Structure 1
Amino acid sequence: MQDLFSMPPAASSANAAGARIRVGIGGWTYAPWRGGVFYPEKLVQRRELEYASGQLTAIEINGTYYGTQKPATYAKWRDATPPGFVFAAKAPQRIMASRRLAGTGTQVEDFVGGIAELGDRLGALLWQFDRGQAPALEELDAFLALLPGRAGGRPLRHALELRDHALFSPQLLALLRARNVALVFAGSAEHPSFADLTADFAYARLMQSQAGLAQGYPAADLDAWACRARDWAGGGDPDDLPHLDAPQPGTVPREAFVFFIAGAKQRNPAAAQALIARLRVPA
Structure 2
Amino acid sequence: MKQKLISLGRKIDDEMEGHSELLKEIQDSPTDTNAIVSQRRKDFTGEFFSYLTLVSETYDSLEDRDAMARLGARCLSAVSAYDNTLEYVDTLDVAQAKFDDILDSPSVDVACEKIKSLAKAKDLDSSLILLINSAWASAKESTTMTNEVKDIMHRLYKATKSSLRSIAPKEIKLLKHLLNITDPEERFSALATAFSPGDGQEAKDPNALYTTPKELHKWIKIMLDAYNLNTEDSDIREAKQMAQPVVVQRLSILKETIEEEYLEHSMFQDSKTEGDAKSDEL
TM over 0.5: no
Q: The TM-score by the shorter chain falls in which range?
A: under 0.3
TM (norm. structure 1) is: 0.27
Find the structure with the greater CA-based Rg.
2
Higher RCO (C-alpha 8 Å, min separation 6): 1
Greater share of helix residues, 1 or 2? 2
TM (norm. structure 2) is: 0.27
